[in-house]
Amino acid sequence: MDDTAIMPNVYCGRCRFSGRTATPSWEDIMLTVEYDGDQHRTSWPQFVKDAERIEYIQQVGWTHVKVLAEHRDHNVIRRVQRAWDALILR
pLDDT digits (tens, 9 = 90+) for 4-52: 555 555 544 444 344 455 567 788 888 888 887 777 678 888 888 888 8
| Enclosing domain of residue 62 | 25-88
As a whole number of angstroms, the distance between CA 59 and CA 89 comes to: 20
Q: How many CB atoms lie within 10 A of CB 16?
A: 8
Residue 19 lies in a domain: no
Residue 11 lies in a domain: no
- The SS3 call for residue 86 is helix
Domain count, the chain: 1
pTM of the model: 0.71
As a whole number of angstroms, the distance between CA 29 and CA 54 comes to: 17
Residue 87: its pLDDT value, please? 92
Q: What is the mean pLDDT of residues 55-64?
A: 89
Paired with 66 in beta bridges are: 34
Nearest to 68 by CA among 52, 79, 83: 79
